[in-house]
Amino acid sequence: MAVKRISITEFVSMMEQYPILDVRSPLEYAHAHMKKAYSLPLFSNEERKVVGTAYKQQGKQPAIKLGLNYFGVKMAAMVSEVEALLAASPDPNNKVVLVHCWRGGMRSAGVAWLLDLYGYTVYTLAGGYKAYRNWVLAQFIMPYQCKVLGGFTGSGKTETLQSLKALGQPIIDLEGLAHHKGSTFGNLGQPVQPSQEQFENLLAQALYKISANHSYIWLEDESRRIGLVNIPTQLFEQMRKSKLYFLDIPFASRLQFIVSGYGKFEKDQLMSAILRIKKRLGGLETKTAINFLIEDDIESSFNVLLTYYDKLYVKGAYNRENPESLIQKIELPSVDPSANAATLLASAGL
């Protein structure tokens, strides 16, 4: 057997089928990595620093010797770790692994040699994670037929998007990938947001997977910024030029939906969120919304906020080229994701 070095195109085509072993340092992996990649660092963060310094100051061969001192004592443990990983995978009989480091150099070569010696079929990525990042960025300039789901705050857009998925429709949940709901309350009850790079990695792989099997993609109407991450410019511009299916749901129904979703959080969390938009909301409205919270009148507090967000959404929705031709309003009686998804598909002719 011999280690097989493959291109990013080949590597991506195999990512869903075989385990991916990321042999970069723990810090590199924590910052961003491929979806489903398993962290199998050849060097610790400190070891990587020491070897890298030796490479720059003394040259390649002294750095390799130094690296072998670290690598040698880890070999048996690394093999056992890969064995355990494969044994717990959906296909425990699989003996194929994908390996990559940062540039496709010595780290991936070393681990690939070890696993090949042990009897695995090993593929390494030419160009490493750097090649993968170039592939990620290239996905955002590809043309996509986007169907954009819009509506005022509290319309249950995310839930409707998931109902579309349950009906077999191709969707990408941008807020789910970003771990943020988009508004000032968007981080409540959510995991820590990914780095911008990690968000892009997840989004690129979602786009690739769906576009390989479908001619269009449903996405939720978003601002360019979702919490701390940004939708890549080229994709965002495509979304802004796409058909917007606007769920037109009565204010009262949306208010009840919002209260049921966010009313469960602590008052101090809600107050902090309101204060973050004080400049845009206005001093008087901010004070009014907070006073209602203090009085345990959550519904009246969110009434103030929903009125503000409705005005903000109208401004954003119509701030695009030819909004009259792009925006299709769909009048609905209430926030009912399952029923509204079915009505939406009928309106879209699907």
Tokens of 243: 């058909």
Contact by Cβ (8 Å): 99, 11: no
Q: How far apart are CA 53 and CA 150, in angstroms?
A: 52
Residues 6+ apart with CB under 8 A from 20: 34, 36, 37, 38, 97, 98, 99, 100
Buried/exposed 78-93: b ≥16 CB within 10 Å, e otherwise: bbeebeeebeeeeeee
Nearest-10 Cα torsion for 110, 113, 118, 120: 110
The residue among 55, 25, 56, 22 whose CA lies nearest residue 36 is: 22
146 is catalytic: no
What is the CB neighbour count within 10 angstroms for residue 276? 12
Active-site pick, 101, 259, 273, 274: 101
Provide the annotated active-site residues. 101
